[in-house]
């Protein structure tokens, strides 16, 4: 979900993140987060920001003690989110600001029972849950946690639009909601899209076997019409691991490689995959790119099984 920053050549300089931030004057965003013993942010200017306040694992009294604690970066690379050590609350932060609690309901005790997902602008957080349905809907712009739409949590999250103004949820019908959770478009379909464009009508649907997707279709959420299936011209052994739209409405694919991640712009008529960038995975236990969900295939080192 939602990758827009490039990783600069790293000239690692440690920057403290306490009091008034030292990096406020630098026009840098977050290139990626990485974890060894603690979490760190690697910026696009090469600086490294320590985040010792962030939990790395669920505490002993959590339902899943020892499970990896989520750490997320918004797609624009300007916001980061973590469960803080002091009280276990899930908080949002920028490089130039202090912590802001997302919702007092979202705590470290729910790690691996509830999974936060962040909009591209870092201003909206939703959570999926281990039970069917959704947890919280938090609009950080307005400082509100909203009740689930329709009075039911029986939704599945399908995606944010890149402009962060719409959410696509799946239930009995695919429904596009605005940030106030007012329904804008509804469609009954058997297709399962995973991305919504900025026109708030076009959705992208991966086609094939899970984790080995190499094809896609576009779906018009207003008319219900779907395009023909397009085979994406990825290199052999690579698959559509993440499907999204950019701000201009072009389809973007991220694909795990032997050394990290490759990002492509894909023609929805020919399937041609134009390489945009390749990112080499740092030699750390865990890393997170802007726009990642709680777990992505490239999060782990090659050959390492996903941690529960």
Domain at 293, CATH number: 2.120.10
Q: Across the strands, what pairs with 127?
A: 116
Residue 124 within a domain: yes
Tokens of residue 2, six digits: 């939602």
Is 140 contained in some domain?
yes
Structure tokens at 112: 């691996």
What pLDDT does residue 19 have?
Answer: 43
Q: Note down the domain range covering 119.
A: 13-299
- Provide the pLDDT for residue 13: 36
For residue 300, what pLDDT is reported?
74
Residue 305: predicted pLDDT? 47
Q: What is the mean pLDDT of each run of 10 residues along the chain (308 residues)?
A: 38 40 64 96 97 97 95 98 98 95 96 97 96 94 95 94 98 97 97 98 96 97 98 97 97 96 98 97 95 90 51
In a domain, 3, yes or no: no
* pTM of this prediction exceeds 0.85: yes
pLDDT at 157: 96
**Residue 79 within a domain:** yes
Q: The tokens 């039911």 sit on which residue?
A: 152
Report if residue 8 sits inside a domain: no
* Domains of the chain: total: 1
Residue 305 covered by a domain: no
Is residue 7, in this structure, part of any structural domain at all?
Answer: no
Residue 252 lies in a domain: yes
């Amino acid at each position: 979900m939602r990758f827009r920053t490039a990783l600069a050549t790293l000239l690692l300089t440690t920057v403290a993140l306490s009091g008034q931030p030292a990096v406020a004057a630098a026009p840098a965003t977050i290139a990626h987060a990485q974890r060894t013993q603690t979490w760190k942010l690697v910026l696009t200017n090469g600086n490294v920001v320590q985040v010792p306040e962030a939990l790395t694992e669920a505490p002993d009294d959590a339902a899943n003690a020892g499970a990896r604690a989520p750490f997320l970066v918004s797609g624009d690379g300007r916001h980061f989110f973590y469960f803080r050590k002091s009280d276990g609350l899930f908080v949002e932060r920028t490089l130039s600001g202090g912590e802001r609690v997302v919702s007092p309901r979202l705590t470290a005790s729910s790690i691996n029972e509830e999974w936060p997902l962040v909009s591209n602008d870092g201003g909206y957080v939703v959570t999926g849950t281990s039970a069917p349905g959704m947890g919280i809907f938090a609009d950080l712009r307005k400082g509100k946690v909203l009740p689930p739409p329709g009075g039911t949590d029986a939704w599945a999250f399908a995606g944010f639009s890149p402009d962060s103004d719409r959410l696509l949820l799946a239930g009995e019908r695919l429904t596009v909601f605005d940030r106030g959770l007012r329904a804008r478009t509804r469609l009954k379909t058997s297709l399962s899209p995973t991305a919504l464009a900025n026109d708030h009508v076009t959705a992208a649907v991966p086609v094939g076997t899970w984790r080995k997707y190499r094809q896609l279709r576009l779906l018009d959420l207003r008319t219900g019409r779907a395009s023909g299936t397009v085979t994406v011209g990825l290199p052999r052994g690579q698959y559509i691991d993440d499907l999204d739209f950019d701000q201009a409405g072009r389809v973007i694919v991220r694909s795990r490689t032997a050394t990290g991640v490759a990002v492509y712009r894909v023609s929805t008529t020919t399937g041609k995959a134009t390489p945009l960038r390749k990112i080499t995975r740092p030699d750390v236990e865990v890393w997170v790119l802007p726009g990642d969900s709680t777990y992505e295939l490239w999060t782990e080192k090659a050959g390492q099984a996903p941690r529960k």
